Amino acid sequence: MPAAYKSLLFVPGARPDRFGKAAASGADTMIIDLEDAVLPDAKTEARTAALAWLTNRGEVRAGIRINSPRTAEGCADIAALAGFDIAKQSQAGVLVGGADYSASLGADLSNWDAMIVARGTIAGACGAAGVPAYDVPFLDVKDAAGLDATTRQAKAMGFAGRACIHPRQVETVNAAFQPTPAEILDAKALIKALEESQGGAALHNRKLIDSPIIQAAEKTLAKDGEKRG
């Protein structure tokens, strides 16, 4: 699976003064939004500012949210991106388009149960394809408890990270997706038990260790920055 991000911070494409602040927010990566966050008459200016900043961003990890390719502005976004090396550097992954999805159905984006089918479909498809799945942003920036609870639910469903719409959400999201000390110790113990078996059957906590269990353990250590061996 490609490298996954715990937190993805959206920043309005029409506010280039915030690009540097977003890059320094502590988010794993940032996404410059050229779609919903930009008024129609500001699209061209925002596109120019975003591409200029991305081209000279150095080692900062960043992405860009383009307009729908069914629109003239979306086609212009694609044409502009085709002229740089930015698109070649993109990391695979799928972000739930929760706002558009809920609006099309008349569903409540803030209701976990109302969105569970969409989340489960995305998480399952991404797991099967071996790419990270990212959850929809939590819209109430003042509800830290709600953000933490739903982010941990998303993690339990198999999401690798979550989008954020305000810098104050980044710390909570990062913490939720960071493996706990207990998870790290258990992952190390699993891998050690397999290595000590020297290719034979291995048990951990009286349970047989198989390939999916080891893969999950290695993903846990990868999220913590650990290396096997």
Structure tokens, 23: 């890059």
Look at the alpha carbons of 39, 7, 57, 167 in this order and tell me if their dihedral is positive or negative.
positive
Percent pLDDT > 90 in the chain is 51
pLDDT at 229: 37
Residue 217 has pLDDT above 80, yes or no: yes
- E strands of 61-215, at which residues? 62-65, 94-95, 133-135, 161-164, 203-204, 207-208
Indicate the pTM of the whole model. Answer: 0.80
Closest C-alpha among 69, 33, 17 to residue 163:
33
41-99 tens-digit pLDDT? 999 999 999 999 998 888 898 888 999 888 999 999 988 887 786 656 555 688 888 88
190-203 tens-digit pLDDT? 888 877 777 666 77
Burial of 38 (0-12, 13-18, 19+ CB in 10 A): buried
Residue 102 has pLDDT above 80, yes or no: yes
Which of the listed CATH numbers 3.20.20.60, 3.40.50.720, 3.60.70.12, 3.30.9.10 matches domain 7-177?
3.20.20.60
Angle at 163 between CA 114 and CA 59, to 5 degrees: 165
Domain locations in the chain? 7-177, 181-223
Closest C-alpha among 102, 176, 106, 93 to residue 139:
102
Q: How confident is the model at residue 1 (pLDDT cuts 50, 70, 90)?
A: low
